């Protein structure tokens, strides 16, 4: 599907209080809509960032009771834009939490949900350590959402390190891929730009990666640099480290153009790994 689309990535610095975080995100979404964006994406954990299982469980709610759902639904109806709530912490029946990305259409209806598949369980230099799987239950379905501009592949943050997911989304028909994130500063400085550009190049998709930025609860810091990237790997917009938003005008015909020049999505071949 071709045509033009103005998109926006909103960059926030979420704290521990859901109402305050939603208000801050809503102000930026309205500004992005005033700037002409028809599709607006927000970061992972847009409604709160807190450290520790007990703090998370004290604040999360089932989707039916989560204040972020009616908030973004009302905002989508108000603005007429498609909105991506990058991720919300949603309490599940088994007592664990889904890191859930929720897409709203321009009438405020939930168009798609995606639960983050890959859990961020890492130990970084300097003592920075995360165990997402201690609190969150990983999803087990890749999700393609139909939009007026083509199919959207939904991913979240740490998923970006698993190229097979992105290839599967592209081969299933995605022309746009979202990667809402709360990347750490060390991994962001080393890997953020190169990973996202690689995912765009490999898939021939536009990649939208709205990000958290700055200092958060318990000293956590996130990298910022929300990005919008073309199917040829060009960075169309980079938000830097400040709270705000960036926009870009997408020529959706570039998806077919990039894939026509390098049709690698059609060049899979079977192989075996041989150990010597």
Residue spans per domain, the chain: 4-261
User: Which of these is catalytic: 17, 55, 78, 116?
Assistant: 116
- Decide if 116 is catalytic: yes
The SS3 call for residue 152 is: strand
Whole-model pTM over 0.95: yes
Q: What is the pLDDT of residues 176-190, one digit of tens each?
A: 999 999 999 999 999
Q: Supply the DSSP symbol for 188.
A: I
Q: Give me the mean pLDDT over the 253-264 stretch.
A: 98
User: Which of these is catalytic: 20, 44, 78, 242?
Assistant: 44
Fold of 4-261: Nitrilase/N-carbamoyl-D-aminoacid amidohydrolase (3.60.110)
Give buried/exposed letters for 10-29 (b at 16+ CB in 10 A, else e). bbbbbbbebeebbebbbebb
Q: Which of 116, 166, 113, 110 is nearest to 140 (CA)?
A: 116
Beta bridge partners of 212: 12
| Mean pLDDT computed over every residue of the chain | 97
Q: Is 14:249 a contact under the CB 8 Å cutoff?
A: no
| Tokens 């103005």, located at residue | 6
Phi-psi region of 6 (alpha: psi -120 to 50; beta: other; left: phi over 0): beta
Cα–Cα distance between 85 and 98 in angstroms, integer?
A: 14
pLDDT cut 90: percent of the chain above it: 97
Q: What is the pLDDT of residues 74-98, one digit of tens each?
A: 999 999 999 999 999 999 999 999 9
Angle at CA of residue 146, ends 141 and 149, nearest 5°: 135
What is the helix, strand, coil percentage profile of the chain, to 5? 35, 30, 35
- Decide if 272 is catalytic: no
Q: Is 228:248 a contact under the CB 8 Å cutoff?
A: yes
Q: Give me the mean pLDDT over the 248-256 stretch.
A: 98
Q: What is the pLDDT of residues 33-53, one digit of tens each?
A: 999 999 999 999 999 999 999
* Per-residue pLDDT band at 126 (split at 50, 70, 90): confident
Give buried/exposed letters for 47-85 (b at 16+ CB in 10 A, else e). bbbbeeeebbeebbbebeebebbebbbebbbebebbbbb
Beta bridge partners of 143: 154
pLDDT computed for residue 40 by the predictor: 98
pLDDT of residue 1 exceeding 80, the answer is: no
- Number of C-beta neighbours around residue 198 at 10 A: 17
Q: Is 211:226 a contact under the CB 8 Å cutoff?
A: yes
pLDDT computed for residue 181 by the predictor: 98
User: Which of these is catalytic: 9, 63, 157, 202?
Assistant: 157
DSSP structure string for 205-266: -EEEE-BBEEE-GGG-EEE---EEE-TTS-EEEE-TTSSEEEEEEEETHHHHHHHHHS-GGG
pLDDT computed for residue 2 by the predictor: 67
pLDDT cut 70: percent of the chain above it: 99
Residues, the chain, total?
A: 276
The pair phi, psi for residue 231, each rounded to 5°, is -65, -15
């Amino acid at each position: 599907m071709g045509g033009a689309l103005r998109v926006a990535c909103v960059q926030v610095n979420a704290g521990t209080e859901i109402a305050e975080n939603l208000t801050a995100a809503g102000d930026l979404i309205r500004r992005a809509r005033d700037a002409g964006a028809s599709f607006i994406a927000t970061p992972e954990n847009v409604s709160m960032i807190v450290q520790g299982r007990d703090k998370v469980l004290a604040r999360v709610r089932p989707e039916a009771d989560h204040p972020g759902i009616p908030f973004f639904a009302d905002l989508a109806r108000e603005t007429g834009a498609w909105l991506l709530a990058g991720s919300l912490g949603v309490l599940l029946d088994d007592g664990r939490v889904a890191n859930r990305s929720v897409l709203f259409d321009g009438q405020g209806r939930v168009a798609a949900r995606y639960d983050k598949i890959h859990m961020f369980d890492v130990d970084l230099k300097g003592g920075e350590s995360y165990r997402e799987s201690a609190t969150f239950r990983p999803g087990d379905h890749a999700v393609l959402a139909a939009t007026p501009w083509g199919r959207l592949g939904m991913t979240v943050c740490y998923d970006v390190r698993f190229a097979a997911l992105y290839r599967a989304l592209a081969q299933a028909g995605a022309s746009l891929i979202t990667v809402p994130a709360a990347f750490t500063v060390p991994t962001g400085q080393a890997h953020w730009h190169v990973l996202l550009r690689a995912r765009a190049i490999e898939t021939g998709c536009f990649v939208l990666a709205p990000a958290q930025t700055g200092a958060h609860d318990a000293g956590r810091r996130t990298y910022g640099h929300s990005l919008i990237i073309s199917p040829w790997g060009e960075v169309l917009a980079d938000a830097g480290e400040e709270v705000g938003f960036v926009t870009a005008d997408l020529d959706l015909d570039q998806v077919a153009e990039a894939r026509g020049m390098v049709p690698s999505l059609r060049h899979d071949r079977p192989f075996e790994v041989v150990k010597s």
